[in-house]
Structure 1
């Protein structure tokens, strides 16, 4: 009888985008910041995350947002095949209306996320419920690939990775490494085949 094989899924958050958060932003400037965040290049990697199966990685799943694709290339090099999929894109957010007053960008970012989670700032956006369903689909896709390949890597985003991890845990995956949600943070999950 075949021995069970341990499958691995690595969830990596992208590197920090090269956009300045300094100063105070009005509503229009905060909206432009979000656009810049989604389109900007990433800061140069000083070190690559440790403990990844570099020698076994020939393909990497990633969102189709520039910061995820650039991070995947910076970590794994030009020879790796990127499998880009909007399924792995970050949960959306948009600036809310507060006319003529300036705040630090964190006020706008956290406020936008909280209001979106509460269903109060999602006009024209995917809802929180829809985003969680998408994260479950992403988890299923990664799990199916891990059953074939043994080791799977996703380079994506903080919120998306968090909910993918939760979905995988409900599917029987176990977290063995959690670097947190910071830039280049790695979460590793394992599961024995046949379980």
Structure 2
């Protein structure tokens, strides 16, 4: 009796963006940094992540942010069909209000994410609950594609990928590869196809 076919979902975090984190930033400068981070190019890929089914993939899902699209093309080639969808965009964040004082950008980034997770500093943004629901819908979309094609690849973002991975695990998918959450980190999840 033939064994059930394994379905694969690959989640890839984008390459490092070309934006300077040097120096001290006030609130306005931190806000400007966040805008630049969402619009800038990525560093050139010296090596591509190993173990990806590049020959078997003709289309790649990605967020609508430039760093994800550029990473997908750098890994899979310019001829790859990109399926851009804002459902795969990173969870939003914004600089919080501390007037006049300057801090390293890491302070602003961690503080903005922590306050957003706590439900503070969400004015005009999707809140954490809404973002988790979106990540679950994104996971369902990837599952449907994996059921059609056998393998599906998403190039997206660190925080979003965490919650897609969690949603997939709740749906019975198993992690067989996890490179960590750094730039170009790959997670591979598998599940037996239903007959």
User: Please, what TM-score do these two structures have when normalized by structure 2?
Assistant: 0.98
Match of 2:178 in 1: 178
- For the residues of structure 1 that align with 2:149 and 2:162, how far apart are their CA atoms? 23
Runs of at least 4 residues off by over 6 Å: none
Question: Shift of the alpha carbon at 1:142?
Answer: 0.3
- For the residues of structure 2 that align with 1:185 and 1:2, how far apart are their CA atoms? 33
What SS does the aligned partner of 1:8 have?
strand
- For the residues of structure 1 that align with 2:79 and 2:35, how far apart are their CA atoms? 29
Question: Shift of the alpha carbon at 1:3?
Answer: 3.3
- For the residues of structure 2 that align with 1:44 and 1:98, how far apart are their CA atoms? 35
Q: Is 1:55–2:55 an aligned residue pair?
A: yes
Q: Is 1:76–2:76 an aligned residue pair?
A: yes
- For the residues of structure 2 that align with 1:142 and 1:5, how far apart are their CA atoms? 17
Match of 1:143 in 2: 143
Q: After TM superposition, list the pairs within 5 Å mapping 1:35-184 onto structure 2.
A: 35-184=35-184
Instruction: Give per-residue Cα distances to partners, 1:76-99, cap 9 Å, x unaligned.
Output: 001110000000000000000011
Question: Shift of the alpha carbon at 1:2?
Answer: 5.3
- For the residues of structure 2 that align with 1:2 and 1:87, how far apart are their CA atoms? 36
Consecutive unaligned residues in structure 2, runs of 5 or more? none
- For the residues of structure 2 that align with 1:183 and 1:157, how far apart are their CA atoms? 9
Instruction: Give per-residue Cα distances to partners, 1:107-161, cap 9 Å, x unaligned.
Output: 0000000000000110100000000000000000000100010000000000000
What SS does the aligned partner of 1:155 have?
strand
- For the residues of structure 1 that align with 2:120 and 2:140, how far apart are their CA atoms? 29
Match of 1:22 in 2: 22
What SS does the aligned partner of 2:119 have?
coil
User: Please, what TM-score do these two structures have when normalized by structure 1?
Assistant: 0.98
What SS does the aligned partner of 1:54 have?
coil
